[in-house]
Amino acid sequence: MLNEREEKLLEEAEHAMDRSYAPYSQFRVGAAVLSSDGRVVNGANYENASYGCAICAERVAITRANVEGIKDVVSIAIIGSSDAPVTPCGACRQVLFEASSRCNRDIEVIMSNSNRQKIRKMMLSELLPFAFSFERK
Ligand code: THU
């Protein structure tokens, strides 16, 4: 189901999941972003005693990639400590949409459960149709 490149990306997401800081929800998530020139940047969720301050793994990975100078994201892999593949929350979909608009390409989203046995692959445009954008009429 996944090619070699996708498997490697998911492995990077898994490494990040090991670094998740989720003492409140116990729900660990890791993500890894792939750029068009082959660079990989990962991220993990980072929670807070003030629950609403939690940051999702996807947004950590995307913002870290930006600081690394990555302008075009091709793909993101997400893995969660769950039985079912973890799907990005609405806010993360919108943030991914910004990354997608910026480089004018759709982003592949690979979603996995904890043991990598259940995997879903979708394009961001399928996960977030009619996303908000200033350009849309
Ligand atoms: N979380 C993510 O990191 N990514 C998602 O796509 C869904 C939710 C995190 C946020 C919070 O730390 C925990 O999972 C439970 O919601």
Q: What is the pLDDT of residues 69-107, one digit of tens each?
A: 999 999 999 999 999 999 999 999 999 999 999 999 999
- Per cent of the chain over pLDDT 90 is 97
What is the whole-number distance in angstroms between the Cα of residue 17 and the centre of ligand 1?
Answer: 11
- 114 exposed, middle or buried (CB, 10 Å; 0-12, 13-18, 19+)? middle
Strand order in the sheet with 73-80: 40-44, 29-35, 73-80, 108-112, 119-123
Atom of ligand 1 lying closest to residue 87 CA: 6
What is the whole-number distance in angstroms between the Cα of residue 68 and the centre of ligand 1?
Answer: 23
Two structure tokens written together for 64: 């870290």
Which residues on adjacent β-strands are paired with residue 55? 46
Residue 123 has pLDDT above 60, yes or no: yes
pLDDT band at 1; cut points 50, 70, 90:
confident
What is the whole-number distance in angstroms between the Cα of residue 37 and the centre of ligand 1?
Answer: 28
Residue 71 is predicted with a pLDDT of: 96
Residue 65 has pLDDT above 80, yes or no: yes
pLDDT band at 136; cut points 50, 70, 90:
low
Report the candidate in 76, 83, 82 with the shortest Cα–Cα distance to residue 128.
Answer: 76
**Cα three-residue angle 119-20-56, rounded to 5 degrees:** 70
Q: Mean pLDDT across the chain, nearest whole number?
A: 97
Enumerate domains of the chain plus CATH numbers. 4-127 (3.40.140.10)
**pTM of the full predicted structure?**
0.97
* pLDDT, average across residues 51-60: 98
Residue 108 is predicted with a pLDDT of: 98
Residue 135 is predicted with a pLDDT of: 76
Report the candidate in 116, 112, 117, 53 with the shortest Cα–Cα distance to residue 88.
Answer: 112
Residue 46's CB: how many other CB atoms inside 10 A? 17
Q: Which of 12, 14, 47, 58 is catalytic?
A: 58
The rounded distance, in Å, linking the Cα atoms of 91 and 97 is: 10
Catalytic residue list contains 58: yes
Report the candidate in 75, 72, 71, 46 with the shortest Cα–Cα distance to residue 59.
Answer: 46
pLDDT band at 12; cut points 50, 70, 90:
very high
* Ligand 1 pocket residue status of 56, Cβ below 6 Å: yes
* Ligand 1 pocket residue status of 92, Cβ below 6 Å: yes
Residue 137 has pLDDT above 60, yes or no: no
